[in-house]
Amino acid sequence: MSPIVLFFILSHIFGNRIESIQNKFLESNASIYSFLKENLSIIPLIKVFNLEKWSKNRFSKQMGVYYGISINYTKTSSLNTSLSSLILGVPIVLLITFGGYKVLDGSLSLGTFTAFMSYTSIFFSPISQLSRIWTTYKSSLPAFDRIKEVMDMEPEKNVGRNITITSGEIIFENVWFSYDNRPILKGVNATFKKGLNYIVGDNGSGKSTMLKLLCLLYPVEKGSIKIDGQNIVEVKREELIKNISMIFSDPYLFDGSIYENIKIGTLNAKKEDIIHAANWLIYMNLLKAHQINIIQK
């Protein structure tokens, strides 16, 4: 019975160690994927500023951490398997040693000895499997925790009232917002009326953030944003999105034709509407190029 106690102690010690290592492994794995996604999307920028060596060193450093954690996990898992096999083998060796001696001196029959050997194997096999299952379970816990964070998130509730657009006036009243406790907008007050409006500021000053707040992509921490006197927080999200369109500074083209990409804005649009939208885009790009040319002159 003593190997059972050893199995439980071994499973507890190595289970906790493997859980801790697996947690670090998942974090390192996520960092590498994030790094690759970021750097592959800005390859032109890396080349222009001659940052190839800098980027390579960062990647090598992250891969070094990943490699070290992987080796540590493999060593710990292998040591756990080896010790489990050793614990399982010790009773068999002792049984053969002492049982064989008793068979030779006639105090134990060969049949009893053979039966005892079979019973020992049958007894320890499920205990050994239980030890491996426990270790696998502990190894999977960090992944379950990451999934649980997503599953426990509250789904967005499409509650509120419909929005009525009259003059299209947008008002920011004492709006506050921050990234990771770093304030971006501090008590912003602004009014945008129907027509052409501009938001001017340095990079990182919060221009795009204001537009994302308007689309409810980010929650307003303090203050309110109103459209024709209606607080957007009190409006149904789909109703708000129906009345707002936004083009980011780094637009994404879906895999397909230009026609299909334009149609994404309104899936039930007619062909004439899509052609009209394409002509409008061409006109705006020409106007933008003309403005840049004037500024250069």
pLDDT of residue 156: 64
The angle, 0 to 180 degrees and rounded to 10, between the axes of the packed helices 52-94 and 2-41 is 170
- Give domain status of residue 158, yes or no: no
SS3 state of residue 256: coil
pLDDT of residue 61: 92
**Is residue 126 located within the same domain as residue 8?**
yes
**Is residue 29 located within the same domain as residue 143?**
yes
pTM of the model: 0.55
**Is residue 277 located within the same domain as residue 195?**
no
**Is residue 60 located within the same domain as residue 106?**
yes
**Is residue 257 located within the same domain as residue 284?**
yes
Total domains, the chain: 3
For 64-92, how does the pLDDT look when each residue is reduced to its tens digit (9 = 90+)?
999 999 999 889 888 888 888 888 777 78
- Give domain status of residue 245, yes or no: yes
Please report which helix (H) or strand (E) contains residue 92, including its range.
helix 52-94
- Give domain status of residue 209, yes or no: yes
**Is residue 6 located within the same domain as residue 21?**
yes
Structural domain span for residue 55: 2-151
Q: Which two tokens stand for residue 51?
A: 């940052």
**Is residue 111 located within the same domain as residue 208?**
no
136 and 200 in contact (C-beta within 8 Å)?
no
**Is residue 110 located within the same domain as residue 123?**
yes
Of 175 and 132, which is predicted with more confidence?
A: 175
- Angular region, 165: left φ>0, alpha ψ -120 to 50, beta rest: beta
Quote the mean pLDDT of the chain: 82
CATH of the domain at 218: 3.40.50.300
**Is residue 8 located within the same domain as residue 129?**
yes
**Is residue 73 located within the same domain as residue 181?**
no
For 138-193, how does the pLDDT look when each residue is reduced to its tens digit (9 = 90+)?
888 888 887 887 788 776 665 677 888 888 889 999 999 887 778 888 888 999 98
CA–CA dist 210, 177 (Å, integer): 9
215: exposed, middle or buried (C-beta count within 10 Å: 0-12, 13-18, 19+)?
Answer: middle
**Is residue 33 located within the same domain as residue 109?**
yes
CATH of the domain at 60: 1.20.1560.10
